[in-house]
Structure 1
Amino acid sequence: MDTSTHVTRSATTRARRASMASAVGSLVEWYDFGLYGAAATLIFKDYFFGTDDPFVGLMAAFATFAVGYLARPFGGMVFGHLGDRIGRKPVMVVTLALMGVSTTLIGVLPGHDSVGVLAPLLLVVLRLAQGLGAGAEYAGAVVLSSESAPPARRGFYASWSGAGVWIGSALGLSVFQGVLALTGDSFYTWGWRLPFLLSLLLLAVSFYIRRKVAETDSFESVKESEDAPKVPLAHLLRTQKRRLLVALGSNVILSGYSYIPQVWILSYLTDNVGLAAGLALAVNAVVLVSGAVFMPFFGALGDRVGRRRLFLYGTAFGILWPFPMFALIDTHSTPVIIAALVVCFVGSVTVCYAAQAAFLPEMFPPALRYSGVAFARETSGALLAGTTPLVATALYKVADSWWPIAVCMVVYATIALVSVHYSKYFRSDARQSSDSDFASEDAWVSTPADGGRTAKAVV
């Protein structure tokens, strides 16, 4: 075996190991969040809040769902800073532990009937801890996998983290559904706790897989540099405001739009379409798995046609699909409902998620990368992801129709499309496979407003 072949195989092994570890971490994170979304809809509205009004209980449950997202930017800022200063790998270990332990403890909380108002307060505390840990977990996952991958395969390997997100969500829903089937009426008293306790086992598996992951060369170069900013996020906010705004806007389709078919739709299918809770969970799980299956394909496609171009296609389809999707759901036909939601996920959300996995890390230089990705994702997530199910519930209550929710989805997709369009000032698909460009602060295009540099031509 010649030296070049050995180096190639070693690089591929390293990329696969990092991507697998990142994907498993994302799986644990979104198992926790998917589980919480299902429980908030079906269990927590009654168990923790002690109200006889279903609307009030559902709003209160979705409010605690939102609390986790409000905590995520703070986790992103703290752990993103640490990830840029002390390393990607150690920070990902801490955030994973914080999430897994918090989720497990939710499974042993007493209800409102036992401890009164203390029950929702304890739930909020653990939800905050979940959010703090999750605020930097996915950002760390895509940064680690992107930096560990060969330049020409960066999109493919980075997309594994996105696949882990939806496999984790689907696993959470499937476990929830399976325990519901096994425990029957007891599910609503003690059975719902079992899926939360299972998080501890998933946490142990994830730690085992991550034990051999190496720190990235990009971070090691930053560590040896004397010019790295002491506070990466402060440097970004001071010199790269437009770059951050583009990154924030591009995430709106994933932090807002996707939470209609991913979370809120469960309440619509059960309360308005008339599907049984178990069937609604199964539909949601099928949709999430379909997205996970296609994620690596679209990641690889982004390596070939360009991530920015792929991202634009996904946002454009996201503008076109919401009204047809709801019209198909209202046929009350389960196969048609599944098809409508799968098309939404695969045609828009999955395309955007796969493109973003490498697109966002390429927006920022190594010394600022973890902070930049975490801040962009989690700030938009705090504003939209946790609140979107809440807003959708309120909109449906007022209008007694789904059309305002479809309009909301169109607006979210439009914001993302415009933001990705303007990313042409900061990155170029034509140079996305250049390792030197990926590692350089000055290689991607900057404007004078972003720190006084002269604008360069964009391919």
Structure 2
Amino acid sequence: MDQQKATKPGPPSEATGITQASARRAAAASAIGSLVEWYDFALYGAAAALVFNQFFFHADNPAVGLLAAFATFAVGYFARPFGGIVFGHLGDKIGRKPVMMITLTLMGISTALIGLLPSYDAIGFLAPALLVFLRVLQGLGAGAEYAGAIVLSAESAPPKKRGFYASWSGAGVWLGSAIGLLTFQLMLVLTGDQFVVWGWRIPFLLSLVMLAVSLFIRNRVSETKQFEKVVDSAEVQRIPLFTLVKTEKRRLLVALGSNFMLSGFSYIPQVWALSYLTNNIGLAAALGLATNAIVLVSGAAFMPLFGRIGDRIGRRKLFLFGTAFGALWAFPMFMLIDTRQPVIIILALSVCFVGAVATCYAAQAAFLTELFPPAIRYSGVAFAREVSGALLGGTAPLIATAIFAATGHWILIAVFMTVNALIAMVAVYFSKYFRSDADQGDDERFDADTTGSIRVVEPRQSRRTKAAAV
């Protein structure tokens, strides 16, 4: 009966005032923003490897130019936590919708401007300086984009379908990465020798078209009822991140720990495995890229399904299953890759993405929004994801590379993946003290219990005064 009703917009829920139509709009707006974000990041990664080393950096040694180009790629990851802090603060102060319009615009325009930059031959050192500046802007916008996407979609969804709608953003991440890579490869084929001259610019300029479509969709989304309730009840915090760190350290640790699965673990099959396949297994680069695109699309296709499963059995249970599966699959995955059979390799990586990474991605979207009180939710989700992402996402491929260079084998890399999965599992296990699957649809619990409400931090002097009075 519930499934039949889910296909119709229907009247708003008496408890939430949310319709299926508004939930779909919010989920679609969030997903397309995530798609644009990772389209931009995928483009930059591909361009850094193929074009930027010579276009913006004139080094006598090609390896030096490549390192310089990848250094600008890393700058975007290092900028993300700062974007998460700044825009997370604004998201809890002025609202989810306006901040997401700002972050999307910042990302789209900075990406398009990269496509207009002159070369090193034209303006000298100013070219790489402008590239770094635009990369920082891109990272700042991206730092709060995904956090805002899952908060907006989760808060705009009916409680019983929150996991399903929130999971759309994760699917958008992987689809955006796949589209970015495919667009770049298509331009490489179509423009031929002119690709390094001007052909590479076209995918970057197309970001403006995607930005316009995304802004149109997001402009039709209303502010969430939960944020409006925070404003009406005068619970808006002066500095949300300060309140978060002072009063909700344990919640923050749970969120940080849960992201070990989606940063430290997932960046091995998603990023480092490509170099292993091409350099050590002997797979052609084109086949390696195709393999990566296949596993990304397969994971994205399953994510809404896992979001719906999380709505039914509980997000914490789903998250725990994904971390356990990842811990058990790391070793078999590499064993299957070592068969050097393309079909088996694709199967091994796809099972990892679907069974472990996509499962956790789908569960985490609504899981994190239900972990933090609404008044500090945007700040909590953005800070936890982006800090752990910068520390692990950017370093995991480097760690794997260093391990393989030192040992010549993948066994310790599999251990590294397993450890990250187990850390996430422990963090999700201890989330039972702050949220439960039984009350994951109860938006009023933050008003009723002390573990869910923001605890006011009293000045030291007032606490001493109170103790003396007692």
What TM-score, normalized to structure 2? 0.88
Within 5 Å, give how 1:249-328 maps onto structure 2: 249-328=257-336
Within 5 Å, give how 1:156-235 maps onto structure 2: 156-235=164-243
- Work out which of the residue numbers 11, 17, 22 in structure 1 matches 2:25: 17
Aligned to 2:6: none
1:289-328 residue CA offsets vs partner (Å, 9 max, x unmatched): 1111000000000011111111111111111222222232
Letter aligned with residue 228 of structure 2:
E
Q: How far off its partner does 1:98 sit?
A: 0.7
Aligned to 1:457: none
Aligned to 1:131: 139
Moved more, 146-155 or 428-437: 428-437
Letter aligned with residue 39 of structure 1:
A
Using a 3 Å threshold, how does the CA distance of structure 1 residues 393 and 373 change in structure 2: closer, same or farther?
A: same
Q: How far off its partner does 1:199 sit?
A: 1.0
Letter aligned with residue 298 of structure 1:
F
Moved more, 193-202 or 94-103: 193-202
- Work out which of the residue numbers 358, 362, 387 in structure 2 matches 1:350: 358
Letter aligned with residue 266 of structure 2:
S
Q: How far off its partner does 1:434 sit?
A: 1.6
1:3-45 residue CA offsets vs partner (Å, 9 max, x unmatched): 6799999611111111010011111011111222333334444
Kept in 2: contact 1:38–1:263 (CA 8 A): no
Q: How far off its partner does 1:270 sit?
A: 3.2
Aligned to 2:115: 107
Letter aligned with residue 385 of structure 1:
G
**Whole-Å Cα distance in 2 between the matches of residues 192 and 2 of structure 1?**
46
Aligned to 1:391: 399
Using a 3 Å threshold, how does the CA distance of structure 1 residues 440 and 279 change in structure 2: closer, same or farther?
A: farther
Aligned to 1:248: 256
**Whole-Å Cα distance in 2 between the matches of residues 82 and 145 of structure 1?**
17
Aligned to 2:468: none
1:119-143 residue CA offsets vs partner (Å, 9 max, x unmatched): 4333222211111001111111111
Kept in 2: contact 1:68–1:128 (CA 8 A): yes
Moved more, 212-221 or 65-74: 65-74
Using a 3 Å threshold, how does the CA distance of structure 1 residues 3 and 376 change in structure 2: closer, same or farther?
A: closer
Structure 2's unaligned 5+ residue stretches are: 1-8, 464-470
Using a 3 Å threshold, how does the CA distance of structure 1 residues 318 and 363 change in structure 2: closer, same or farther?
A: same
Is 1:339 matched up with 2:347? Answer: yes
**Whole-Å Cα distance in 1 between the matches of residues 47 and 411 of structure 2?**
26
Moved more, 98-107 or 179-188: 179-188
Using a 3 Å threshold, how does the CA distance of structure 1 residues 5 and 94 change in structure 2: closer, same or farther?
A: closer
Q: How far off its partner does 1:101 sit?
A: 1.1
Kept in 2: contact 1:179–1:192 (CA 8 A): yes
**Whole-Å Cα distance in 1 between the matches of residues 165 and 438 of structure 2?**
19
**Whole-Å Cα distance in 2 between the matches of residues 341 and 92 of structure 1?**
33
**Whole-Å Cα distance in 2 between the matches of residues 93 and 232 of structure 1?**
20
Q: How far off its partner does 1:114 sit?
A: 5.0
Calculate percent identity across the aligned residue pairs: 66
Using a 3 Å threshold, how does the CA distance of structure 1 residues 6 and 417 change in structure 2: closer, same or farther?
A: closer
- Work out which of the residue numbers 70, 78, 96 in structure 2 matches 1:70: 78
Moved more, 16-25 or 218-227: 218-227
Kept in 2: contact 1:72–1:135 (CA 8 A): yes
Moved more, 352-361 or 415-424: 415-424
1:246-282 residue CA offsets vs partner (Å, 9 max, x unmatched): 1011011112221222223333333333333333222
- Work out which of the residue numbers 412, 420, 424 in structure 2 matches 1:412: 420
Using a 3 Å threshold, how does the CA distance of structure 1 residues 229 and 437 change in structure 2: closer, same or farther?
A: same
Kept in 1: contact 2:92–2:236 (CA 8 A): no
Q: How far off its partner does 1:349 sit?
A: 0.5
Using a 3 Å threshold, how does the CA distance of structure 1 residues 171 and 376 change in structure 2: closer, same or farther?
A: same
Letter aligned with residue 162 of structure 2:
R
- Three-state SS of the structure 1 residue aligned to 2:198 is coil
Q: How many residues are treated as equivalent by the alignment?
A: 451
1:341-370 residue CA offsets vs partner (Å, 9 max, x unmatched): 111110110000000000001011111111
**Whole-Å Cα distance in 1 between the matches of residues 196 and 288 of structure 2?**
17
Using a 3 Å threshold, how does the CA distance of structure 1 residues 342 and 141 change in structure 2: closer, same or farther?
A: same
Q: How far off its partner does 1:381 sit?
A: 1.0
Letter aligned with residue 362 of structure 1:
E
What TM-score, normalized to structure 1? 0.90
Kept in 2: contact 1:426–1:446 (CA 8 A): no
Letter aligned with residue 76 of structure 2:
G
Letter aligned with residue 205 of structure 1:
V
Letter aligned with residue 340 of structure 2:
H
**Whole-Å Cα distance in 2 between the matches of residues 161 and 234 of structure 1?**
27
Kept in 2: contact 1:174–1:282 (CA 8 A): no
Letter aligned with residue 422 of structure 1:
F
Using a 3 Å threshold, how does the CA distance of structure 1 residues 301 and 321 change in structure 2: closer, same or farther?
A: same
Letter aligned with residue 209 of structure 2:
L
Moved more, 322-331 or 52-61: 52-61
Cα RMSD of the aligned pairs, angstroms, is 2.8
Whose radius of gyration is greater, 1 or 2? 2
Structure 1's unaligned 5+ residue stretches are: 453-459
Is 1:372 matched up with 2:380? Answer: yes
**Whole-Å Cα distance in 1 between the matches of residues 208 and 432 of structure 2?**
43
**Whole-Å Cα distance in 2 between the matches of residues 149 and 357 of structure 1?**
12
1:135-166 residue CA offsets vs partner (Å, 9 max, x unmatched): 11111111111111111111001101111111
Using a 3 Å threshold, how does the CA distance of structure 1 residues 354 and 184 change in structure 2: closer, same or farther?
A: same
**Whole-Å Cα distance in 1 between the matches of residues 60 and 334 of structure 2?**
29
**Whole-Å Cα distance in 2 between the matches of residues 235 and 448 of structure 1?**
8
Q: How far off its partner does 1:409 sit?
A: 1.7
Kept in 1: contact 2:33–2:149 (CA 8 A): yes
